[in-house]
Amino acid sequence: MPRRSPLVIGHRGAPGYRPEHSRSSYELALAMGADAVEPDVVATRDGVLVLRHENEISGTTDVADHPEFADRRTTKSIDGQSLTGWFTEDFTWDELATLRTRERLPKIRRSSATFDDAQPILRLPDLLDLVRRGSEEHGREIGVVLEIKHATYFEGIGLDLAPLIERDLRAAGWADGELPLVIESFESTVLARLRAAGISASFIYLIEATGKPFDLVTALGKEAPDYAEAVTPAGLDRLRGEVDGVSVAKRMLLQPGSTIVADAHERGMQVFTWTCRPENAFLAPAFRAGGGKAAFGDYESEWRVIADTGVDGVFVDHPDLGVAFFH
């Protein structure tokens, strides 16, 4: 049965207040009452899973200030997009451990940027232990919503993420269903592999509003279906039994007449949405207010539209606001 109020998921912790994926970001999300937190995982050269939104890390760490790593700056094609910077797969874990985290959006989140250069990068086992301890400390069950980034790309360079994720989940006691675990990805093939490996979790297929999934483009070329097709009734029929639900870009639920949530629920599937943020920069135009991009707009009205769809989970950057509104 769908929950009466959606799961409030701290998106990379509490990045409205602290640099994303930092220890203090996650600790704050737990303290603010988040039902779960969402780490993104990418890999190092030596097969350590680290928490970064992307494998390109120039915007979220101080790597550019380390002269010893200047020669690692390069240009790569990641999921069909050309990116220049520093990439996790070109570093060992011991090297990445010397870096410190930074606010990704310093012009919008100036307060968070005051915590720059103070905290190291976390590994996946660090986060799993932090959430387990946090559940005990706060006296409530807190989940992990694990997002797998660029699985096809990493597999193509010899860093297959699926066995690395299975290794870390089993070692930390998160693979057998005792603790609430969701695994999500924009690539359905890696979800199928982890399900087949016997990981006990809910598997959620992430859906962009535009474009096509890179794993299917790699396999099928121009014949690959686009993301939007996956959340039509026919697309959901095909997904039923393969995944437990979908997580759609917020704007897809804000479209007048959207039936995605109802269609998924009719098929016994969950729907999450990303990302509920209060700043004008991220709100749909109808809900923006004065004061510039960093100012809070009429986010509650936007969130009301989302809540009224009956969605099962929402990703938030400010867990205190999310808990206050959605619970």
Cβ(246)–Cβ(271) below 8 Å? yes
Residue 85 lies in a domain: no
3-state secondary structure of 146: strand
Cβ(25)–Cβ(15) below 8 Å? yes
CA distances from 28 to 55, 274, 286 (A): 24, 20, 30
For residues 4-13, average pLDDT: 94
pLDDT tens track for 186-196: 999 999 999 99
- Tokens of residue 27, six digits: 């600790």
Residue 64 lies in a domain: no
Residue 160 Rama label (left phi>0; alpha psi -120 to 50; beta): beta
The total domain count for the chain is 1
Q: How far apart are CA 315 and CA 238, in angstroms?
A: 25
% pLDDT > 90, the chain: 98
pLDDT tens track for 116-151: 999 999 999 999 999 999 999 999 999 999 999 999
What CATH number should be reported for the domain holding residue 132? 3.20.20.190
pLDDT tens track for 279-317: 999 999 999 999 999 999 999 999 999 999 999 999 999
pTM over 0.85: yes
Residue 78 lies in a domain: no
Q: How far apart are CA 96 and CA 297, in angstroms?
A: 37
Q: In 90-241, which ranges are continuous DSSP H helix?
A: 93-96, 110-113, 124-138, 151-156, 161-172, 188-196, 214-220, 227-230, 233-239
Hey, how many other C-beta atoms are within 10 angstroms of the C-beta on 70?
11
Q: Which residues contact 199 (CB under 8 A, 6 or more apart)?
A: 165, 166, 169, 175, 181, 183
Q: How far apart are CA 272 and CA 214, in angstroms?
A: 21
Residue 106 lies in a domain: no
Residue 293 lies in a domain: yes
First CA to last CA distance, the chain: 17
Cβ(205)–Cβ(243) below 8 Å? yes
CB contact burial 259-269 (16+ within 10 A = b; e otherwise): ebbebbbeeeb
- Tokens of residue 302, six digits: 């936007």
- Tokens of residue 156, six digits: 């193509």
Structural domain containing residue 52: 7-57+122-326
Residue 161 lies in a domain: yes
Band of pLDDT at residue 95, cut at 50, 70 and 90: very high
Q: How far apart are CA 318 and CA 215, in angstroms?
A: 32
* Mean per-residue pLDDT over the chain, rounded: 97
Residue 254 lies in a domain: yes
Band of pLDDT at residue 4, cut at 50, 70 and 90: low
Say yes or no to pLDDT of 3 above 70.
Answer: no
3-state secondary structure of 38: strand
Residue 117 lies in a domain: no
